[in-house]
A and B are shown apart, each in its own frame.
Chain A
């Protein structure tokens, strides 16, 4: 059974810092990995999708990497802003096209 873990569970940083969110998964037989952002009480916004054959994806200030063999992914956020405050969720897609999520990292960026 696939298990996804995200560390840290919560993070508070001052504005402008670069930061790294971590995600690990137990079964390396995945199709791809997706990072999401969730604002309080809202749905999920897809940030980046990394195919299993890829090593990283970039979108603006966000960069996500994937090391399938070690079961790890990181989400790098450059020059953090207060508007980045949200919960960030990592999910892997395995057989059957179902997403298995981690518990999320709650990020607070202080002005």
Chain B
């Protein structure tokens, strides 16, 4: 049973550039959530996708956008990168809503120089 997968593993970008991160959920899951984790801190919720629509959004600017595909995989896009966007980006999948257990992928380490 494949777990949550993310690509790429590491990424280095320059300020002002744009980046796309990808996530495939655990088999059977239909909901994907994205989190940003700065060094030494707990993860912060960015947004959640269900049925190809953004269902919830945390306190992140519009530079952060996403998409969910019919096969439930998801992309996170960040435009006009800032140094402060450097972080570990985590994807989590779950089944439906209602507080079900969330399973995390290995993350993508983004460094903005």
A residues touching B (Cβ–Cβ < 8 Å)? 4, 30-32, 34, 36, 41-46, 49, 51-52, 89, 91, 93-94, 96-104
Contacts and interface: CB of A to CB of B under 8 A. Distances in A.
Contacts, number: 74
- Size band of the interface chain B makes with A: 20 to 34
Interface of B: 4, 6, 31, 33, 35, 41-45, 48, 55-56, 58, 88, 90, 92, 94, 97-107, 109
A43 B98 CA distance: 23
A44 B99 contact: no
A32 B98 CA distance: 9
Contacts of B90: 43-44
A100 B45 contact: yes
Interface centre among B31, B43, B45, B99 (most CB of A within 10 A): B99
Contacts of B41: 103-104
A86 B51 CA distance: 35
Contact of A36 (B44, B99, B104, B106): B104
Given A31-B99, A97-B98, A97-B99, A89 B106 contact: no
B95 to A, nearest CB: 10
Which 6 residue pairs of A and B lie closest in terms of their CB atoms, listed nearest first? Answer: A31-B99, A101-B42, A44-B104, A96-B56, A43-B106, A93-B99
